[in-house]
Amino acid sequence: MKSVMNLINMALLCLIMTTAAMAQSTPKPTVGVLDIDISGFTQEPQATGNMTRTELSKLDLFEVMDAYDIEFLLDKNAVDPTGCYGKLCLIEIGKQIKTDKMLTGKIELAGDAINTTFRLIDVGTQSVEKTHVMEFLNLRQQLKSIIQVSLQKMFDQEVDNDLLTKLTKRDDYKSSVNTDAPRLNLNGPRMGVMMMTGEMAEIFKAAKSEGGMDLLPVMFQFGYQWEIQYINQGDFQALFEFIPTITGMDQGKFIPSISVLNGMRSSRTGLEFAFGPIFYATQKAKGYRLEDGWTLESAFPEDLNRNDYTLERRVDSRGTYALETRFVFGVGKTFKSGKLNIPVNVFFIPSKEGHRFGLSVGYNVSR
């Protein structure tokens, strides 16, 4: 009985060793990855190909050829792989670099979705062995995860279902990927000019003895913008903006104001619009509009009947300070240079005394 057990053990040992030897003698198929065709993104095809090559290596299903080895062999054979995305071209390159398979793909932005198509080409049989197509939400900042999930699904590997849901299901549940991704934030200084029109411009130009400001109706202003984002969805943000500003210091005048705006912004294009109240302090006095102009209540001519005129309050340098409110509308666009953001905005403040127009420019650095 003991000898029989020894024979069984020896047979099992031989079987295990044979299986291990066969596994070691059967190498993984080699696969080459060139550039990946990509449109609607800032990434270049070469960078996307490198990202795909890395994610494919993580699956441990193939012997993925090193990018430097591919470059060396192509240079040696004087082959330019630029723009090689089709089956026939990839088969020829696969023969040149002596690989079993070639992986190619296309990633494109289509409306509010990102479509991925990956194909595995068998160089020996000159046929497409496997094709996989997926659709994702428009989350361009998650390109690495999109490639990762696409390849995992293509080769029937385990996929993180939580990540898959965040990348593909818009309304299933709130996620850090599709609602709280980093967005354009424009906190920073603001500077610009404001121009007045109508009666307001005339008052500012008038002499102080006439109740005017003795100022030009075009003034420099500077301030600072703080913003709070309360909605992040896709490319768009909804936000509150708080902008305290000082106007007129270029002409020796101190006119403080604060705007509280509600706006929408596209993180992709940098376009935005906003509107809300503006609060500012100004000097106002009571008086009458006579045939020969404005006069203070205290200086009303004795030969005229006050009942024939209407007592008003208007901007007057001889009056007392009062809090005024108006409504401001603004549109703008943010220009980018590296990590530097340069928001440029124009605004409009309507009023029956005269409209105001302005231009402001700011800057900040993305973190």
Whether the Cβ atoms of residue 328 and residue 349 lie closer than 8 Å to each other: yes
Identify which has the larger pLDDT, 343 or 337. Answer: 343
Domain boundary among 168, 199, 225: 168
Same domain membership, residue 129 and residue 275: no
CA distance 278 to 243: 9
In a domain, 9, yes or no: no
Kindly report the backbone phi and psi dihedral angles of residue 162, in degrees, each rounded to the nearest multiple of 5, phi listed first: -65, -45
Q: What is the rounded average pLDDT of the residues 270-281?
A: 94
Band (16; pLDDT cuts 50, 70, 90): low
pLDDT tens-place string over residues 120-149: 999 999 999 999 999 999 888 899 999 999
Indicate whether 2 belongs to any domain. no
Q: Which residues are registered as beta bridge partners of 328?
A: 276
Question: Same structural domain for residues 285 and 354?
Answer: yes
Please indicate, yes or no, whether residues 335 and 246 belong to a single structural domain of this protein.
Answer: yes
DSSP letter (8 states) at residue 246 = E
> Is residue 7 situated within a structural domain?
no
Give the residues across from 259 on adjacent strands.
Answer: 243, 278
Q: Packing angle between helix 67-76 and helix 45-59, nearest 10 degrees? A: 120
Tell me the residue type at 61: L
- The pLDDT, as a whole number, for residue 20 is 53
Nearest to 27 by CA among 64, 70, 66, 79: 64
Residues 300-315: what's their mean pLDDT? 88
Residue 1 forms part of a structural domain: no
**Predicted pLDDT of residue 17:** 65
**Of residues 141 and 242, more confidently modeled:** 242
- Please indicate, yes or no, whether residues 55 and 204 belong to a single structural domain of this protein: no
Instruction: Please state, in angstroms and rounded to a whole number, the distance separating the CA atoms of residues 32 and 60.
Output: 14
Among 291, 283, 287, 292, residue whose Cα is nearest residue 310: 287
State whether 304 and 220 are in the same domain.
yes
Looking at the domain assignment, is residue 129 inside a domain?
Answer: yes
Domain endpoint, select from 137, 168, 199? 168
Lowest mean pLDDT among 120-124, 356-360, 362-366: 362-366
Q: Residue 356's domain is classified under what CATH number?
A: 2.40.160
Asked whether residue 361 is domain-assigned, the answer is: yes
Q: What CATH number should be reported for the domain holding residue 68?
A: 3.40.50.10070
Query: Does residue 261 sit in the same domain as residue 116?
Result: no
Residue 5 has a pLDDT of 61
Specify whether 150 is located in the same domain as 290. Answer: no
What is the pLDDT of the chain when averaged over all its residues?
A: 88
DSSP label of 39: E
- pLDDT for residue 258 is more than 80: yes
What is the mean predicted confidence (pLDDT) over 231-252? 88
Cα dihedral 179→182→183→188 (10° resolution): 140
- Whether residues 91 and 217 fall in one domain: no
Contact 328, 348 (CB under 8 A): yes
Shared-domain flag, residues 143 and 62: yes
> Domain residues for 118?
28-168
Across the range 88-113, mean pLDDT stands at 92
Distance CA 360, CA 194 (A): 9
User: For the chain, what is the domain count?
Assistant: 2
Is 198 domain-assigned?
Answer: yes
Query: Average pLDDT of 29-57?
Result: 93
Task: Answer yes or no: is 313 within a domain.
Answer: yes
35 and 86, same domain (yes or no): yes
67 and 134 share a domain?
Answer: yes
Residues 149 and 253 in one domain: no
From 139, 168, 197, the end of a domain falls on 168
